[in-house]
Structure 1
Amino acid sequence: MLRILAPTDFSMDGYNATLVAMRLAQRFGSQVIFVHAMAKPPVPANSPENLFQSLYREEEQKNLEKLREECQHLLDILNMRHGEIHYKTVVVPTPFAESMLEVIYREKIDLVVMGSRGSTSLRKILLGSSTQELMRLTTVPLLIIPSFFVFDGFKRVTILLQHKAQSYRPGVKVLERLASSYNATLHFLIMTQDGRQIHNITEICTDTANWQYLLEFPHSISSMAETDTLAGLKDHMAQKRTDLIVLFPDRRSIWEDFFSQNIADDLAAQPKVPILILPNQ
């Protein structure tokens, strides 16, 4: 069973992401863990510990109730009954990223689905937000849902790769499930230093046997020079009508891998396209 984590801050952006998470869970028969990271209640520094604990439990119960109400609203919108989807609600303390990592480990999460926190610019997402923290630290695939995104499956997927050895990642299994479920066409877009064309994806795959299943989907392979990344990516997405971008960042930093050439600016120009990040575990 696919286990999905859906963080929410009760904003419209967070709500939209939880709606996508619920629809994915409905399609895959998954379990969803809805989670909210709650700030500590403000109390004077010299307050007794029992006062803090009392206020914390009270605030925690309020947030749990809001989560349950949001889940019920999602069920109503999707015309679903309790029991059709397995889900639970969890409230954790801030800081956000550390708490999410703990839940990912404890609940054996396979996929995190979260919003871009109201921003229409990917550059804003990647500068100091909770989303950026989790993008940098996550050990499981992370699906970022942009504001006002209307979910209708993922049928045309652009997989952005650098021209270097690409090792197989366990998170590819999630991509395979999405592609299979929605009969997706995969478009491999490879950035090369000199602009030379790559005609076979196995040229950069270090473990071709494990990549083979992806290559069994309808797919295309194209290349572009790194110096033409901005214009090339924009043209590619328009031509292919991309509805999901997949990134394979190195462990060190997503910025260093994919955004050092201001690719973020180009992705920001496509604010309605979700991004699936497959981390190097």
Structure 2
Amino acid sequence: MLKVLLPTDFSENSRNAIDYALHFYKEVECTFYLLHTYTPTAMRIDYILGSPGQIGLGDNWLTETETEINEFRDDLELTNHNPKHHFITHIALESLVDEVLQVTIKEGVDIIVMGTQGATGAKSVFLGTKTMNVLRVAACPVLVVPKGCFYKAPKEVALVTSYKRNFSAEVLAPLRSILTRFKSSVHIMHINEEERLDFTQESNRNTLDAYLNEFDPTYHWMPNFTNKTKSIQVFLKELDIDFLTMVKYDHDFIEGIMREPVIKKVSFSVEIPFLVIPVEN
């Protein structure tokens, strides 16, 4: 049975990501872990230092939140009507990142699905802070669902790669699963940072092709604009991509994207589901 972690702050955005996950895994036997974390500002200092005014604050929060998350679970079960889906609630007075790591390890979570800020009025952002922090440390794949992105079956799936790292069956398993379940087309995007691939890149490309050959992948070279995020944005629009995938190696391509000034200037937005597959060096 697939184990899916669903962080929630009970907002419309997180509910949208959860609804997406329920549709995305409609035909799959799943256990969904509903995770809510919170550290009240007052507790971070006063409660930890033993301030008498804060005694009992944690207990009050726990009682109220248990009621809220149980009602949230009951509503999901009522509206979902899927015997393949099972829900477990989890709350903690802890940082989101720390608790995500603990639950992922303890429960053997296969994938995390969470929302992010996405486009907001005249501004747009690459990823919200909480989502970015989870992406940086997650030990399992993370599926990011932008604000306002409603479910539709992924038919045009993109994998963005530099070809600088090797691929394996384990790394590509989440992507292969999507291509198989939804009978999607897959487009491999490489940003043209060099005139030609070197020996290592060529070898990695051949390995990738061997693993994805049955899905008849198409390969694309994109110009290296002023930044990689711009190249990706143009690529997604030109091919009408509806699902984006990247493999995250430490200090590799996606890390570079996360650090690009364009993100801090909020000039690039993710508007489609975005799967990040982490790989340990």
TM-score, scaled relative to structure 2: 0.82
Unaligned 5+ runs, structure 2: none
- Identify if the C-alpha distance between structure 1 residues 234 and 194 changes in structure 2 by more than 3 Å, giving closer, same or farther: same
Distance 1:260 1:279 in 2: 17
Match of 2:250 in 1: 251
Match of 1:28 in 2: 28
The alpha-carbon deviation at position 5 of structure 1 amounts to 0.3
The residue identity in structure 2 corresponding to 1:152 is K
Distance 1:213 1:134 in 2: 28
Match of 1:58 in 2: 60
8 Å CA contact 1:38, 1:60 repeated in 2: no
TM-score, scaled relative to structure 1: 0.82
Distance 2:179 2:264 in 1: 27
The alpha-carbon deviation at position 46 of structure 1 amounts to 4.3
Q: 5 Å matches for 1:21-170?
A: 21-40=21-40, 42=42, 45-47=49-51, 52=55, 54-78=56-80, 80=81, 83-117=83-117, 120=120, 121-123=124-126, 125=128, 129-168=129-168, 170=170
Distance 1:46 1:231 in 2: 50
The alpha-carbon deviation at position 261 of structure 1 amounts to 5.2
8 Å CA contact 1:169, 1:280 repeated in 2: no
SS in 1 for 2:17: helix
The residue identity in structure 2 corresponding to 1:214 is L
8 Å CA contact 2:125, 2:269 repeated in 1: no
8 Å CA contact 1:195, 1:226 repeated in 2: no
The farther-off stretch of 264-273 and 174-183 is: 264-273
Distance 2:18 2:261 in 1: 29
> Percentage identity across aligned positions?
19
Deviations 1:210-268 (A, max 9, x none): 87343311321111243464554333212321111111222136764334556759996
The alpha-carbon deviation at position 160 of structure 1 amounts to 0.5
SS in 2 for 1:9: coil
Match of 2:214 in 1: 216
Distance 1:107 1:55 in 2: 28
- Identify if the C-alpha distance between structure 1 residues 175 and 61 changes in structure 2 by more than 3 Å, giving closer, same or farther: farther
The alpha-carbon deviation at position 205 of structure 1 amounts to 1.9
Match of 2:202 in 1: 203
Deviations 1:70-90 (A, max 9, x none): 223233333x06x54111000
- Identify if the C-alpha distance between structure 1 residues 124 and 224 changes in structure 2 by more than 3 Å, giving closer, same or farther: closer
Aligned length: 271
The farther-off stretch of 133-142 and 228-237 is: 228-237
The farther-off stretch of 145-154 and 158-167 is: 158-167
Distance 1:71 1:116 in 2: 21
- Identify if the C-alpha distance between structure 1 residues 266 and 216 changes in structure 2 by more than 3 Å, giving closer, same or farther: farther
- Identify if the C-alpha distance between structure 1 residues 139 and 35 changes in structure 2 by more than 3 Å, giving closer, same or farther: same
Distance 1:266 1:243 in 2: 24
The alpha-carbon deviation at position 204 of structure 1 amounts to 4.3
Distance 1:93 1:225 in 2: 46
The alpha-carbon deviation at position 169 of structure 1 amounts to 6.7
8 Å CA contact 2:161, 2:190 repeated in 1: yes
Unaligned 5+ runs, structure 1: none
Q: 5 Å matches for 1:227-238?
A: 227=225, 229=228, 232-238=231-237
The farther-off stretch of 56-65 and 181-190 is: 56-65
